[in-house]
């Protein structure tokens, strides 16, 4: 498993380095435009990074199944379950690294924005302490719950795409228009997941309406609100990972 994860990172380290270097250059350039440039970077950078992150993960898995360069991976003495699990673990670590990178950019650009606005260092530190202490209604606990929910949801989306591509390549391998068929399967899987999830939301969070009407939400209350999304996404990830692993192990047609 560790060798597979290392292999995944070695395949994309150049892209990661290029992305970081490009981000630093873009940030420095926009900072020269003043506060508006720095703010624009903080708004658009995560959107661009999210698109690159998801598209790269999906593209690499598709290439492994559809191009000759991926044959070597499936010729190794590793089960389909290990292969799909290693890709998901790599995606999780990559996602956490992206969140850390964005957090660093927030700190750097936030400090610059405060400095450009004439706020002295002591006031900046008081603002940070207020945010961390929760006196503004939010603290690191809220941020952690939000980021955890977002990461689990994104991984669920990725594994759904993986499953759609795997179903197309295994069960419907002889059919033409593979990309279109994968998209149709993906839409079908999402419809089923949405339909099943809607039946469980009220069961997992019966007091949802009560929490949503609160003027201030604590970390524990936010966790209760988002628990159905997290729980069902984790169940989705497990079931679809097992499904994709089984198809890779028994039904794949390279």
Structure tokens at 108: 């750097």
Size of the chain in residues: 254
pLDDT score, position 70: 63
Q: Which two tokens stand for residue 43?
A: 């708004």
Q: Is 154 left (phi over 0), alpha (psi -120 to 50) or beta?
A: alpha
- Cα 7 to Cα 11, 12, 13, 87: the distances in Å are 6, 9, 10, 10
Give residue 190's pLDDT.
Answer: 85
| Position 94 in a domain | yes
Residue 62 sits in the same domain as residue 155: no
Which DSSP state fits 251? I
Quick one: pLDDT at residue 251?
A: 63
Q: Is residue 130 part of a domain?
A: no
Tell me whether residue 148 is in a domain. Answer: yes
* Structural domains counted in the chain: 2
Examine residue 111 and state whether it is found in any structural domain, yes or no: yes
| Structural domain includes residue 115 | yes
125 lies in a domain? no
Query: Contact 244/65 with Cβ under 8 angstroms?
Result: no
Q: Does residue 127 lie within any of the structural domains? A: no
What phi and psi, each to the nearest 5 degrees, are found at residue 172?
-115, 40
Task: Name the pTM for this structure.
Answer: 0.74
Q: How far apart are CA 55 and CA 158, in angstroms?
A: 9
Residues 105, 14 share a domain: yes
- Same domain (yes/no): 109, 180: no
Considering the domain architecture, whether residues 5 and 105 belong to the same structural domain is answered as yes
Residues 188 and 89 in one domain: no
In which domain, by residue range, is 142 found? 137-254
Predicted pLDDT at 230? 83
* Statement to judge: residues 26 and 85 lie in one domain: yes
Listed as ranges, residues in the chain with pLDDT below 70 are: 68-74, 78, 119-141, 173-174, 177-178, 201-216, 251-254
171 and 199 share a domain? yes
60 and 167 both lie in a single domain: no
Residues 250 and 156 in one domain: yes
- The whole-number pLDDT of residue 127 equals 63
Residue 126 lies in a domain: no
The residue from 53, 84, 119 where one domain ends is 119
- Does residue 15 sit in the same domain as residue 99? yes
Answer whether 64's CB lies under 8 Å from 4's CB. Answer: no
User: 250 with 164, same domain?
Assistant: yes
pLDDT of residue 56: 85
List, in order, residues 6 or more apart from 16 with CB less than 8 Å away: 94
pLDDT at res. 131? 57
């Amino acid at each position: 498993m560790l060798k597979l994860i290392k292999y995944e990172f070695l395949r994309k380290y150049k892209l990661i380095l290029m992305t970081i270097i490009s981000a630093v250059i873009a940030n420095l350039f926009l900072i020269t435009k003043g506060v508006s440039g720095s703010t624009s970077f903080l708004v658009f950078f995560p959107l661009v990074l999210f698109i690159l992150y998801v598209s790269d993960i999906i593209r690499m898995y598709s290439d492994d199944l559809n191009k000759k360069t991926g044959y070597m991976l499936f010729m190794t003495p590793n089960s389909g379950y290990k292969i799909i699990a290693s890709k998901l673990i790599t995606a999780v670590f990559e996602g956490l690294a992206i969140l850390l990178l964005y957090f660093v950019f927030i700190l750097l650009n936030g400090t610059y924005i405060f400095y450009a606005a004439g706020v002295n260092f002591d006031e900046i530190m008081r603002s940070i302490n207020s945010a961390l202490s929760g006196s503004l209604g939010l603290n690191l606990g809220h941020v952690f719950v939000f980021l955890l929910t977002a990461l689990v949801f994104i991984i669920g989306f990725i594994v759904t795409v993986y499953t759609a591509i795997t179903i197309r390549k295994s069960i419907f391998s002889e059919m033409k228009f593979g990309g279109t068929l994968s998209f149709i399967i993906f839409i079908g899987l999402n419809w089923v997941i949405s339909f099943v999830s809607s039946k469980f939301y009220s069961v997992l969070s019966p007091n949802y309406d009560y929490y949503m009407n609160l003027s201030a939400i604590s970390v524990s209350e936010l966790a209760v609100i988002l628990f159905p999304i997290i729980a069902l996404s984790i169940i989705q990830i497990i079931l679809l990972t097992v499904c994709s692993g089984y198809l890779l192990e028994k039904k794949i047609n390279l």
